[in-house]
Amino acid sequence: MTKSLEGKVAIVTGSGQGVGRGIALFMAREGAKVITNNRKPKSPNTISVNETFRSLGVKGTPEFNAEEMIKILKLRGDAESTAQEIMMEGGEATPFYGDVSDYETAGKMVQLAIEKYGRIDIVVNNAAGMGFGPFIEMKESDWDYQTVSKLKGAYNLMSHAIPHMIKQGFGRILNCASDAWTGIANLSAYSAANAGIVGLTKSTAKELDRFGITVNAYCPQAASPGHMSFKATLRTMMEENGIKMDPNDNRVEESEKEHGPAENVAPFLAYLCTEQASYVNGAVFTVTGGGRISLYSDPKIIKEIKKADEPWTVNELISQIPETLLKDYVSIGKDREF
């Protein structure tokens, strides 16, 4: 039986661990030759709390419990360890260490794929930096850490890979976003970066469709060091403010079910890379390790008011807007979950 990605060549950034690792492993199992990537080699037997949390604008040091520590140790790795696992399973993979937010480094990674395997069919922009905390406590370095690797990294890889894809008449670009793109309190920089990814995805999808290239975005929920870090950070922040997490809260249990093995996210992403999915372009999906696949609607104008003869006056707007344009509107400022 022919594998769905047989003969294809893929770059998966941030594939040393977590979701990226799961994607790289599955795509290799489906026949793709994979360039694995992360910034630098890591020791699978150590955890640097400072490295993990240096981007977080919160006070105190989030503490892992024993169960979380064990899970993180199992999930950690780097480009080399992921590539070795692929090769041990009989697949083809080449590790590449480098920061995708550097334009020349991204170019070298694409060139490695061309020199090693002769083409580049799939780019999975999975690399990201995450942080958590109030906007007013955010530092410039926090903002840069959370936005540059994701947004500029995606631009860099796409910029270098797309000319090759146009020549081939085929290409699949998957940009990792997050449900935070809709705007989540205390995730302002991360939300902004992911909203940017959605805009980039939709814009380039419209430009590149005629070349046989599709660009889609996925918002993953799966087991990863990032998920464990977020849980520990949130718990620490709540405890500092005298709030205890209720282990019996149904939302906690449901969230854990959604964050199943990272490999469970990959089949749908592999599907998006097939010839059969060529009609799917510019879409945004949520894909979970618990088996849920959701499609976001496209933004559209739902109401409008217009005055053609002369400009609106403030008094007219005060009297008309509540019963016309903003009738039934509820401010998201009332949503203060965190």
3-state SS, one letter per residue, for 109-126: HHHHHHHHHCCCCEEEEC
The whole-number pLDDT of residue 54 equals: 42
Indicate the domain borders of the chain: 9-295
Separation CA 182–CA 278 (nearest Å): 26
β-pairing verdict for 284-288 and 293-295? antiparallel
Taking each helix axis as running N to C, give the angle between helix 225-240 and helix 66-75, from 0 to 180 degrees, rounded to the nearest 10: 150
Average pLDDT value for residue range 5-18: 94
The whole-number pLDDT of residue 129 equals: 81
The whole-number pLDDT of residue 69 equals: 45
The whole-number pLDDT of residue 214 equals: 98
Mean of the per-residue pLDDT values of the chain: 84
Average pLDDT value for residue range 118-138: 91
Look at residue 250 and tell me whether its pLDDT is greater than 70.
Answer: no
pLDDT classification of 227: cutoffs 50, 70, 90: very low
Q: In which residue are the tokens 């480094």 written?
A: 105
> Phi and psi dihedrals of 56, rounded to 5?
-90, 130
The whole-number pLDDT of residue 218 equals: 97
CA angle 118-200-222, nearest 5°? Answer: 80
Question: What secondary structure does DSSP assign to 68-137, as a single string?
Answer: HHHHHHHH---HHHHHHHHHHTT--EEEEE--TTSHHHHHHHHHHHHHHHS---EEEE-------S-GGG
CA angle 283-289-293, nearest 5°? Answer: 30
Average pLDDT value for residue range 104-127: 97
257-311 confidence digits (pLDDT tens): 556 687 889 999 999 999 999 999 999 999 998 899 999 999 999 999 999 999 9
- Under 8 Å between Cβ of 244 and 277: no
The whole-number pLDDT of residue 132 equals: 79
Separation CA 303–CA 298 (nearest Å): 15
Look at residue 225 and tell me whether its pLDDT is greater than 70.
Answer: no
Question: What secondary structure does DSSP assign to 12-29, as a single string?
Answer: ETTTTSHHHHHHHHHHHH
| SS3 state of residue 166 | helix
Separation CA 95–CA 109 (nearest Å): 10
Strands (E), 120-268: 122-125, 171-176, 213-221
Strands (E), the chain: 9-12, 33-38, 93-97, 122-125, 171-176, 213-221, 284-288, 293-295
DSSP 273: T
Look at residue 41 and tell me whether its pLDDT is greater than 70.
Answer: yes
Look at residue 226 and tell me whether its pLDDT is greater than 90.
Answer: no
Least confident range from 23-27, 128-132, 305-309, 315-319: namely 128-132
Residues whose CB falls within 8 Å of the CB of residue 203, separated by 6 or more in sequence, listed in order: none
156-176 confidence digits (pLDDT tens): 999 999 999 999 999 999 999
| SS3 state of residue 31 | coil
The whole-number pLDDT of residue 254 equals: 56
pLDDT classification of 70: cutoffs 50, 70, 90: very low
Look at residue 224 and tell me whether its pLDDT is greater than 70.
Answer: no
177-189 confidence digits (pLDDT tens): 999 999 988 889 9
Q: Does domain 9-295 have CATH number 3.40.50.720?
A: yes
Least confident range from 82-86, 119-123, 246-250: namely 246-250
Q: Which one, of 146, 157, 128, 138, lies nearest residue 39 by Cα?
A: 128
Other Cβ atoms less than 10 A from the Cβ of 97: the count is 16
The whole-number pLDDT of residue 130 equals: 79
Look at residue 73 and tell me whether its pLDDT is greater than 70.
Answer: no
Separation CA 153–CA 4 (nearest Å): 27
